[in-house]
Structure 1
């Protein structure tokens, strides 16, 4: 599986979200690749799911062919884990 962590510039908060998502995937023994990127680059990428802020999620939902999950607290493994579990349940 391939996931994207997205923020406005693809550097700061998306890197934090990427690291949290990787930890959650390891805890669930999932073989996945996680990349962080900016919103413009994300639109052209083919991935299984996108994790981002609520504001960017609203923008991305219309232009992505995969599920987009809004995350409020990027370092919260429980919140990120719930979003990942929702993705896995509907996969």
Structure 2
């Protein structure tokens, strides 16, 4: 089971889209996925296998433990997410 945490500033729109895309990408690679979406404050104290967010949001997240961090330039790009997950899939 791969635990994914998707974070945006507000925790509603972009992070929800990231969550759905991360689930699809990882499931297509044969992984069972547990994904959550939240805001910067909600991410504090959480732990996950993969944290997905943007560089500016990542700089504001405190006390979140992640084995891998994926920083998205375009939060809605499934292609970018697939490429970045593919780069770490061997380590999951």
TM normalised by structure 2 equals 0.83
Counterpart of 1:10 in structure 2 is: 11
Secondary structure in structure 1 of the residue aligned to 2:56: helix
Per-residue displacement from partner, 1:3-56 (whole Å, max 9, x unpaired)? 011011111110111111111112112111111001111121121111001201
State how far apart, in whole Å, the 2-side matches of 1:74 and 1:80 are: 8
Q: How does 1:1-91 map to 2 (within 5 A)?
A: 1-60=2-61, 63-66=63-66, 67-91=68-92
Secondary structure in structure 1 of the residue aligned to 2:65: coil
More strand by share: 2
RMSD: 1.7
**Contact 2:46–2:65 (CA under 8 A) maintained in structure 1:** no
Provide the aligned length of Structure 1 versus Structure 2. 90
